[in-house]
Structure 1
Amino acid sequence: MTIRTDTRNNKWFCEANSQFWPGQEFSIEIEEILYQQRSKYQDVLVFKSKTYGNVLVLDDCIQCTERDEFAYQEMAAFLPLLSHPDPKRVLIIGGGDGGVIREVVKHPQVEEVILCEIDEDVIDVSKKYLPNMAQGFANSKVTVIICDGCEYLKQHTNEFDVIITDSSDPDGPAEVLFEEPYYLLMKAALKQPYGIICCQAECIWLDLPLIKKLVRIGSRLFPSVAYANVSTPTYPCGALGFLVCSLNENAKLTEPNNIKLANELNTKYYTADIHRACFALPAFVRKELEDMNK
């Protein structure tokens, strides 16, 4: 972890990773370090910041802040849920902070949510220091299972309407979640014929080769695939994406299937218009993805 002190003796958390975002760093001023321990799988840090509220950091990478977390959580939840005709049973891989759960249970058709998180420490820390996100754990629809997501999927086939992968970057325990065998496991765990997955798929400004790889994997396995770009201030370059894939060849992933519901979900970021707009990609990204098929 890099903590620097400026000329005014203020402390700053500095996120810099030469592998994933070379030549740049992002800094947030620290008011107080609330928690810092090594779990079984990763370094876990929570600090109170000057302007972003409490911040969760795993292996020196910012996962969420109280100020802007809703953008990621809402989009991860409602892009797939509002593309499925009847999303009753939902599986979340990762997401130990509870934010995606909080959003998923807002959908009136959802009857059961399984959260599969490998690191129980992330859940415990989030309940204590990120209570607004972790409130979803108290919902009666939610069951939490502490285990490896890949191993869980191997034991469950044709069970879920929607699978959401809320992962950290492709390093450490999350690395396998960006490979084709994992996508095969998700596909097998989906119910026919409308099953949908939504996976964290990195940043268009830094990770275009990886995004192309993920789109290529998705296109080999699913008849309907789309990439969404989301504004998230405290992620590298202020952007993060999701790969959404459906078993239904006629799925309209870029259009919410219930506009009235999409605009009545008590959200801060997601709307029907935002759902449509996030799939409108910059020309350089669109060209790279289109060139894959030539």
Structure 2
Amino acid sequence: MITHVPIFAHPNPKKVLVIGGGDGGVLREVLKHPDVSKITLVEIDDLVIQLSKKYLPKMAVALDNERVEVKLMDGFKYLADLKDSADEEKYDVIITDSSDPDGPAEAFFEQNYFELLNNALNKTGIVISMASENMWLTIENLQKLRRICAKVFPVVKTCYVTIPTYTSGQISLMCCSKNPDLKLNEPVRKLTKEEELKNFKYYNSEIHKASFVLPTWANEIIYKD
């Protein structure tokens, strides 16, 4: 979901940046989109990549794909270097596959980081980020993160994934667009049902839309200004 929601919400995704995700799982899913011509992975820890190649080969298989460029460096530094680049050098989609907001990863949940993301996107760009929280636990953290993102992007939407390995069986994602007219909760491109069955175990165009539908009480809290 962290891959396919922003890519299907974008009308013409060509360049994708993945920050974190050294295990290769997000890359593997991005490669399912033939229209994406360039994928950049920025991972600070080479050990993550090497261990994934050794122990998670079905995920790490994408790391050696010809469409993928791996940069071993700090994500903040890479984004900062893009700040003054021309629009055509920036990205259509940025996916932040970060850790929980504890210790060094806390910076990935602050306004400065989302400003760097905004500057690294072209004028029609989309970013999606792990919110590392869900509505059933500390929903105030989702409200806070949504407010931070709304200071930077004109469109900010929360969606969620039901996944049993996370506490309470759910995790949230924060999706933002630089295009004020883009409806993130609706895929602008769709595959046939047969193609969806072939490519995805979870994602489909209906669950894309449904993942943005929150219970009334959660919607009131998260989107309260």
TM-score range, shorter chain: over 0.9
Question: For 1:173-214, what per-residue CA distance to the aligned partner results, in whole angstroms no more than 9, with x for missing partners?
Answer: 32110110000000000001x100000012222231221111
Name 1:289's counterpart in structure 2: 222
Name 1:98's counterpart in structure 2: 24
Per-residue deviation at 1:273?
Answer: 0.7
What code does the residue aligned with 1:195 have? G
Tell me if structure 1 keeps the 8 A contact 2:5–2:208.
Answer: yes
Tell me if structure 1 keeps the 8 A contact 2:139–2:222.
Answer: no
Tell me if structure 1 keeps the 8 A contact 2:128–2:173.
Answer: yes
Q: How does 1:61-80 map to 2 (within 5 A)?
A: 75-80=1-6
What code does the residue aligned with 2:125 have? G
TM-score w.r.t. structure 2 length?
Answer: 0.92
Take 1:77 and 1:94, find their aligned partners in 2: how far apart are those partners?
13
Match of 1:161 among 92, 96, 121: 92
Take 1:283 and 1:121, find their aligned partners in 2: how far apart are those partners?
43
Tell me if structure 1 keeps the 8 A contact 2:140–2:222.
Answer: no
Per-residue deviation at 1:261?
Answer: 5.9
Take 1:262 and 1:188, find their aligned partners in 2: how far apart are those partners?
36
Q: What is the DSSP-based 3-state SS (H/G/I as helix, E as strand, rest coil) of the residue aligned with 1:253? A: coil
Name 1:223's counterpart in structure 2: 154
Take 1:117 and 1:168, find their aligned partners in 2: how far apart are those partners?
12
Match of 2:131 among 185, 193, 201: 201
Per-residue deviation at 1:284?
Answer: 2.2
What code does the residue aligned with 2:106 have? E
Take 1:272 and 1:83, find their aligned partners in 2: how far apart are those partners?
10
Per-residue deviation at 1:262?
Answer: 8.1
Q: What is the DSSP-based 3-state SS (H/G/I as helix, E as strand, rest coil) of the residue aligned with 1:191? A: strand
Take 2:194 and 2:175, find their aligned partners in 1: how far apart are those partners?
20
Question: For 1:199-251, what per-residue CA distance to the aligned partner results, in whole angstroms no more than 9, with x for missing partners?
Answer: 00122222312211111011111111110010111111111011110011110
2:13 is the counterpart of 1:82: no
91 and 263 in structure 1: CA distance in 2 versus 1, 3 angstrom threshold: farther
Of the structure 1 ranges 276-285 and 258-267, higher mean CA displacement relative to structure 2 is found in: 258-267
Hey, which of these two has a bigger chunk of strand by percent? 1
Take 2:215 and 2:143, find their aligned partners in 1: how far apart are those partners?
14
2:201 is the counterpart of 1:268: yes
TM-score w.r.t. structure 1 length?
Answer: 0.71
Take 2:193 and 2:21, find their aligned partners in 1: how far apart are those partners?
22
Take 1:79 and 1:143, find their aligned partners in 2: how far apart are those partners?
22
Larger Rg: 1
**What is the aligned-residue identity percentage?**
46
How many residues align? The count is: 217
Take 1:255 and 1:239, find their aligned partners in 2: how far apart are those partners?
21
Name 1:240's counterpart in structure 2: 171
Name 2:213's counterpart in structure 1: 280
Residue ranges of structure 2 left out of the alignment (5+ in a row)? none
Hey, which of these two has a bigger chunk of helix by percent? 2
RMSD over equivalenced CA pairs, Å: 1.4
